[in-house]
Amino acid sequence: MKISSNTDIGKEGIKMRSKMLALILLVIMDLVIISYSIAKVPDWVKNLDSSQKYPVNLYLSGFGVATGPISEATGLAQESARGEISRTIVVSIKSAIATLREEKNERYSQELSSITQSTTSLQNIKGINIENYSEGDQRNATVYAVAYVSRADLRRMYAQEKQNLIQQINTIIKDAQMYESKSETMDAVNKYLSLYPIYEKLKEAEMILAVVGGSGSIQSAVDELSGEKQGSKLLMSQTEVTNKIDRLLSESLSSISDVAMSVVMRLLKQIGTPSGKMLVVPLTYQDSKMGSPFARQFRAELEQQIIRLANWKIAEQAKSFTPKSSQIMRDMAKESGADLILSGTYWERGNEIRLMINVRDINTGNVLAVADLSFDASILPSNVSIKPENYESALISQGAFKEGEIVSGQLLVEAWTNKGNDNIMYYSDETMKVYVRVNREAHIRLLYILADGRWTLLYDDLYIDSSKVNQAVEIPTEFECAPPFGAEMLVVIARTEPFEQLDVIEEDGYKFINKEPILPQARARSLASIVRNEKGMKPKKQSFLATLSQDIMPDLENNSPTESLIKEFEKNKLSLSQNANISTLVVNSQWLINDPTNMQTYLVRQDEGKLNVYKIQQAETKLVVTTMEK
């Protein structure tokens, strides 16, 4: 038997006291850290659309929030924040391009469409930094992320990128011209074809520079890319390269099958045989996002030629999927087992039809190959239409919601179907499922415009609470594709306040807002205003952002973002662009300002003799769906 000495007991006591002291110190440190964290909550966590640290005139910024296991939530929040910067750039580009399209001719619109296609998937913007802030524990944390990049840094990086790409393009053009001089035609064609992915990168660089103020206007960038700018450093524009390839190949295209074969051969020369699968989505008519019988038949021909000539593997589109990011078509392609996605548009140009097709790597977002060619419209069978039957009336509905679109830097709503959110096509008896996702608690209104022109309310004031934020919410009703066929549209509107009830006519299971088959443009715009609940706009329960001078009230009444109005906003530390849309809700009393460039919607209101500005939290998204007989 061993007896412990007093010395041993003393040592054990010292050890115990040391452990107790260490534990107390750890608790104190934890409390200090917690107190420090609470005291140091960044301003962007509270606002989620602005930060004093990264002011909008010096930085592009994006914000994201996600809940779950901390590692997963961090990844989702960061991707959402990065995606918001991309969205800001894309919205600015589309807004400027829409204005240009109204001013220019159709040929110019085709060039604009090419640029829009190139910039819809900006995934790898240079120089983005990320900051995180989290609440909760490791298993159930709420993670906030801000992504930011200096406008000056973007200008510097993309100016260098532009210079490098122009040098690369000009070097390849000289090589191609050298092969031409030696009558080595196919070598010259291959060189010219290799230019297309580089032109796509140049378009991205030019557009980013235009948005951050690094290369003049969007129009100046478009003119340089299309070869219309005097003193351009490009030896040849993409359009000139396309015309050169057409002359060198001198193809005889006498059927849809011949056209599909030519497209595949051009793509094959640019990317060879990829190891993964390719998802082919239907082309859409011009910039309408509408499909047609031609788009359906051409997709089938393309898939046949891809298998026969290129030996590429075709991915079958997933029947349903849950997107994990804002890149919904990318996530659908991944769920379908694809590594590449083929998409594009086609344009009427006199008696010709021009195809503008690209193949994109879904993981990087990079364009790997482009096919740009034209063929005589007379080769199409008489029963193959290039437009949906209701094209003109569908344009009126689209136009009603293009004007005065409400945007928000805080509230984001996404919508998709079981066939994605772009180039959507359903055939008779197929079932369409609709999903929505919001980044904060919101009330949702869903409107569906049928092919015969009638507007029907699918859901009104569907509430998405905090437990479903940033999650896919399936609309509990399924929709069967049935006559009348044509271009249809789903409109999803989200807001933080409840909607006012709409007057509807219930018939055959539908809730019709109108039953007129074809609406005049003014009537369609009026209905869109009612659906958006513009007259029922209420500021979020918060103090006003600023008080404006009464002197600028005439500018508001004229519905014009004048220089004096923009300066008045700037004086009050608010951003307002020249692309803003202003509408009068109540004469001399209330005005709604939608600014897509800055992704903000403001309500300006007379409050007891003061012209106060409030921020409106409302957002919307639209899906064009083409339906047709099997």
- pLDDT tens digits along 56-100: 778 888 888 888 888 888 988 888 888 888 877 877 777 666 666
Q: Which of 349, 384, 419 is the last residue of a domain?
A: 384
Final residue belonging to a domain, choices 238, 269, 294: 238
Which CATH number goes with the domain that contains 360? 3.40.50.10610
> Phi-psi category of 224—alpha, beta or left, where left has phi over 0 and alpha has psi -120 to 50?
alpha
Q: Is the pLDDT of residue 33 over 50?
A: no
Beta strands in 471-599 (DSSP E): 473-474, 479-480, 486-495, 505-507, 510-514, 546-548, 581-586, 590-595
Same-domain status, 397 and 354: no
Q: Are residues 83 and 100 in the same domain?
A: yes
Instruction: Please say which residue of 238, 270, 290 terminates a domain.
Output: 238
Q: Is the pLDDT of residue 465 over 80?
A: yes
Digit-coded pLDDT (tens) for 229-259: 666 788 898 888 998 999 998 888 999 999 9
CATH assignment of the domain containing 435: 2.60.40.1930
19 domain-assigned: yes
Please tell me whether residues 283 and 378 are part of one structural domain: yes
Name the one residue in this structure whose structure tokens are 């049935």. 482
Structure confidence by residue, pLDDT tens digits, 119-164: 556 667 889 999 999 888 888 888 889 999 999 999 999 999 999 9
d(CA 110, CA 114): 6
Q: Is there a contact between 179 and 187 (Cβ–Cβ < 8 Å)? A: yes
Residue 11 has pLDDT above 90, yes or no: no
Q: What is the pLDDT of residue 2?
A: 25
pLDDT of 53 reads 85
Residue 243 in domain: no
Whether residue 185 is contained in a domain is answered as yes
What is d(CA 609, CA 512) in angstroms, rounded to the nearest whole number?
A: 41
Query: pLDDT exceeding 70 applies to what percent of the chain?
Result: 80
d(CA 618, CA 572): 22
User: Do you know the residue count of the chain?
Assistant: 630
Q: What tokens appear for 328 in the block?
A: 């919904």
The burial class, CB within 10 Å (0-12 / 13-18 / 19+), for 313 is: middle
Q: How far apart are CA 467 and CA 311, in angstroms?
A: 47
pLDDT for the residue numbered 515: 66
Examine residue 246 and state whether it is found in any structural domain, yes or no: no
For residue 126, the enclosing domain spans 46-238
pLDDT class for 16, splitting at 50, 70, 90? very low
Shared domain check, 312 and 223: no
Pair (449, 362) in one structural domain: no
Tell me the H-state helices in 40-69.
43-47
Arithmetic mean of pLDDT over the chain: 81
> What pLDDT sits at residue 403?
65
340-356 per-position pLDDT tens digit = 999 999 998 889 999 99
pTM recorded for the entire structure: 0.77
Q: Look at 1-10, 11-20, 380-389, 609-618 and tell me which has the smallest mean pLDDT.
A: 1-10
Same domain, 298 and 416: no
Residue 187 and residue 73 in one domain = yes
In terms of domains, do 69 and 113 share one? yes
What pLDDT is recorded for position 27? 44
Q: Is residue 612 part of a domain?
A: yes
- 519 with 607, same domain: the answer is no
Nearest to 161 by CA among 194, 186, 130, 198: 198
| Whether residues 448 and 492 fall in one domain | yes
Predicted confidence band at 118 (pLDDT cuts at 50, 70, 90)? low
Does position 203 have pLDDT exceeding 60, yes or no? Answer: yes
Residue 163, domain member (yes or no): yes
Higher pLDDT, 123 or 612: 612
Q: Where are the alpha helices (DSSP H) in 59-125?
A: 70-103, 106-119
Region of poorest pLDDT, from 57-66, 235-244, 507-516, 517-526: 517-526
Examine the domain organization and report whether 265 and 376 are in the same domain. yes
275 located within any domain: yes
Residue 244 lies in a domain: no
198 and 85 assigned to the same domain:
yes
Among 23-27, 101-105, 393-397, top mean pLDDT goes to: 393-397
Number of structural domains the chain divides into: 5
